Chains A and B, each alone.
Chain A
Amino acid sequence: MSKINTLEDLNKAAKRGLESIIPSKTKVMVGMATSGIASGAQEVYNALAEEIKKRKLDIILSKTGAMGMDCIEPLVDVLQPNKPRLAYSKVTAKKVPEIIDQIVKGAVNGNKPAYRMDEEEFICLNENKPYLKGPVPKDLEGIPKIGDVSFYKKQMKLATRNCGMINYESIDEYIAKGGYFSLLKALTKMQPDEIIDEVIASGLRGRGGGGFQAGIKWQTCRRAHGDIKYVICNGDEGDPGAYMDRSVMEGDPHSVIEGMIIGAYAIGSSQGFIYVRNEYPLAVANLQRALDQAREYGLLGKNILNTGFDFDLKIGKGAGAFVCGESTALMTSLEGKAGEPRAKYIHTVEHGLWDRPSNLNNVETWANVPAIISRGAKWFSSIGCKNNSGTKVFCLVGKINNIGMVEVPMGIPLKEIIYEIGGGIPGGKKYKAVQTGGPSGGCLPDSLIDISVDFDSLWDAGSMMGSGGMIVMDETTCMVDIARYFIDFLEFESCGKCVPCREGVYRMNEILNDICDGKGKAGDVELLESMSQGIVDGALCALGSTAANPVLSTLKYFRDEYVAHVRDKKCPAGVCKALIRFSVSDEKCTGCGVCLKKCPTECISGEKKKTHVIDQTKCIKCGVCKESCKFDAIIVE
């Protein structure tokens, strides 16, 4: 491939890319992000390749990232010329021949696609390109349009604009979507200060959790003294229950890279780093491939786009330390040391990596930048709500029907995310709370279901946006156990540098373990409260000072559950082992004997067709009986 030097060269690549996005022959795409592969997409891909070869068909087989609706993966998209793009859900290798049959016949029957797309949105180019030419074919009329599927209806995809749409291995497809045109515009038509002004005007706030104005950060870094400056991408997505950055790095790596090159030009940096979690091997591989491609095209390295601007990027791999998601700790880790944070009164934009001015933003923030440059600050700030422009990507997981990654305009009511996009709570159970912001965040109970989802409203409610995990909990989730879980997580992950976090969180974990083990004492709850305040006031870094949040927010909204544990020695949700007992309902038990066979300690007895009995002295409360009972006859109290 020759280097891209001019607009003409870029247009040529875009033309090639468009031919591969909407080709003149049939194309089959398999969603091959980590979530897809874990649900069996590799086997499906192999089966498709084999079937296509066996029948000697002229079909393009390609890989794509995650669309977001993870609960229906593996996902196979079929695109035939002039027809809507069809998405087949929960595909297995066994179903592959039938899908190929439908392609060959050109008609859908039997195994129906989950939804269809009549056109593809090209966000950066502000246009939609049609797949479908003419009226909708008769056999596809009954298949809902993607915009009518409740999961997608209220979504708006900016940062994840290309995820699940383009082949993540193809730079040309990224360019066809308007990619690297923003870079060309920035380098040839804009001064660095103009770019910064544009980003400030857009109101883009850091998507990693803090919500600091990205443009202001860039400006401070640009003005900082020093010849060598760094731009850094925080891809150390450590919050348990959040994986949107992984999805972007896997499904659309070039959007992050392009955003970083634009940022580097604006700030005046010639070297950047992408720090990726150790647990994300596919993200590393896809980023590495993308970096190589960008270098080959002359979009990275010396004399980018023949403008004289030099910039290069390196990947740094984390090694499994939660604290490295904190900016100062991340930079220490990039230097090849143990990733301990340092006090924040010295700003990293002035003294960061190797003591040089360093600008760090997270994956989602960088991915938004090319869209802002191409469409303008006015467009971006028109999306979302006051002081919170644009969209936010969330991972909707836990006790929810439609599990997946969603991108919504800021300010959307929580209710719409839970009940419309998420489809409510499974099994007719009652919604209890949603946990946002990871271990630094908090819980939002039923009384706050109408809250506007934006940085400021969540902060005021005692939680925070965080990087975007949304873990939904129902009546069978114990809130004391959740607090204990996060405190245990934080105790394990505390880097040990400052006393409030190292010792305070340790002691809080002891108290919470006692409470969950039925050894809670009067005064424990009050002690937790006062220790929390001590940690908030005294810890060194952002992760430390927010470490007490899980306890403070569960205490605020679910104090009665703590009281039940401490005073009544009961776990209302039926989770804490020491406080519950399993028994069999006389009414519901059919005496089928399944639990009796499955019990690992053989503590269940009973004759066929008669109510079974659990021997409490032998029961280890593993819950296998409850999991295996089809008649809901196991009572936990």
Chain B
Amino acid sequence: MKTAKAKKITVKDIIKKYGGDKTAMIAILQDVQEEFRYLPKAALSSISKQMEVPLTRIYEIATFYNAFSLKQRGKNLIEVCAGTACHVQGAARLMDRMERDLAIKCGETTKDKMFSLEEVRCLGCCSLAPVVRISGNIHPNLTQDEVPKILKNY
């Protein structure tokens, strides 16, 4: 109960930051996601009520854009870049290795909630392909072999 209350205050702050501007919905959702690492249902309902926007509208935006997640993510977000340059340099094999080592599929979170594994469409670091971004840190020219060592550091 206490956490729900704390969350509500934060959502209110975020809405206030944008002056309740309905056209700022994407930015508001981005801020909420930054706070919670995903979009909690309670937060979306609260935005809907406070901004007088139907929940379906918010849900439409939240499901349209890839950056938003409605599922709770793990402590560390692993994003395997699937840009063309990374693909040519073996990104698919890197993803296979991640899936095997973490024993989850792309889009899932490990049982201990340490890692979430996702694919991202080009980070714009094509010169360092293949790259993987873990919690914001970019790991360049990654080989399958280095995966276990890198995961250990998180």
Using CB atoms and an 8 Å cutoff, list the residues of chain A in contact with chain B: 34-35, 37-39, 70-71, 73, 237-243, 246, 277-280, 316-322, 333-340, 395, 397-399, 403-404, 435, 438, 469, 471, 473, 477, 482, 485-486, 489, 492-493, 495, 598, 600, 620, 622-624, 627-628
Contacts and interface: CB of A to CB of B under 8 A. Distances in A.
Contact of B87 (A337, A485, A493, A620): A485
Interface in B59-99: 60-61, 64-68, 82-90, 93, 96-97
Contacts of A39: 128, 140
Contacts of B104: none
14 contacts: A35-B128, A39-B128, A39-B140, A241-B83, A241-B85, A277-B124, A279-B123, A319-B29, A319-B68, A339-B65, A397-B127, A495-B64, A622-B97, A623-B144
Nearest to B24: A336
A488 B100 CA distance: 22
B67 A473 contact: no
A279 B122 contact: yes
B121 interface: yes
A335 B23 contact: yes
B151 interface: no
Nearest to A335: B23
A277 B83 CA distance: 15
A240 B144 contact: no
A492 B66 CA distance: 10
Contact of A243 (B22, B60, B96, B126): B126
Contact of A471 (B23, B29, B84, B120): B84
B27 interface: yes
Given A336-B22, A398-B84, A471-B84, 6 more contacts: A38-B138, A239-B122, A240-B85, A243-B126, A320-B67, A397-B127
B94 to A, nearest CB: 10
A493 B121 contact: yes
B38 to A, nearest CB: 13
B25 A336 contact: yes
A280 B65 contact: no
B124 A246 contact: yes
B14 interface: no
B140 A338 contact: no
A518 to B, nearest CB: 17
Contacts of B88: 398-399, 471, 473, 477, 482
Contacts of A492: 121
B64 to A, nearest CB: 4
A336 B26 contact: yes
B122 A238 contact: yes
Contacts of B27: 316-317
B44 interface: no
Contacts of B82: 240, 489
A82 B21 CA distance: 54
A238 B90 CA distance: 20
A338 B64 contact: yes
A321 B125 contact: no
B48 interface: no
Contacts of B23: 334-336
A243 B84 CA distance: 12
Contacts of A316: 26-27
Nearest to B27: A317
Given A279-B120, A398-B88, A622-B144, A243 B65 contact: no
Nearest to A485: B87
B46 interface: no
Say whether chain B's binding surface is mostly helix, strand, loop, or mixed. helix
Contact of B125 (A35, A318, A399): A35
Contacts of B93: 622-623
A471 B65 contact: no
Contacts of A404: 127
B65 A320 contact: yes
B47 interface: no
Interface of B: 21-27, 29-30, 60-61, 64-68, 82-90, 93, 96-97, 100, 120-129, 131, 138, 140, 143-145
Contacts of B143: 627
Contacts of A482: 87-88
Given A336-B25, A624-B145, A34 B84 contact: no
Contacts of A622: 93, 96-97, 144
B86 to A, nearest CB: 8
Contact of B64 (A73, A339, A398, A403): A339
Contacts of B86: 240
A38 B140 contact: yes
Contact of B124 (A237, A317, A435): A237
A277 B66 CA distance: 12
B64 A35 contact: no
B128 A38 contact: yes
A243 B126 CA distance: 8
Given A319-B30, A338-B60, A469-B84, A70 B128 contact: yes
Nearest to A250: B124
A422 B100 CA distance: 36
A336 B20 CA distance: 12
A238 B84 CA distance: 11
Given A336-B23, A395-B126, A397-B129, A489 B121 contact: yes
A55 B64 CA distance: 54
Nearest to A72: B127
A579 to B, nearest CB: 15
Report the 9 A-B pairs with minimum CB-CB distance, sorted nearest first.
Answer: A70-B127, A319-B65, A243-B124, A240-B83, A320-B66, A320-B67, A336-B23, A338-B64, A241-B84
A316 B131 CA distance: 26
A321 B66 contact: yes
Nearest to B100: A600
Contact of B65 (A37, A70, A321): A321
A246 B26 CA distance: 21
B90 to A, nearest CB: 7
Contacts of B30: 278, 317, 319
Contacts of B100: 600
A163 to B, nearest CB: 14
Nearest to A477: B88
Contacts of B83: 240-241
Contact of B67 (A319, A334, A493, A600): A319
B98 to A, nearest CB: 12
Nearest to B83: A240
A627 B145 contact: yes
Contacts of A469: 84, 126
Contacts of B120: 279, 320
A47 B25 CA distance: 41
A598 B68 contact: no
Contacts of A319: 26, 29-30, 65-68
A619 to B, nearest CB: 13
Contacts of A598: 145
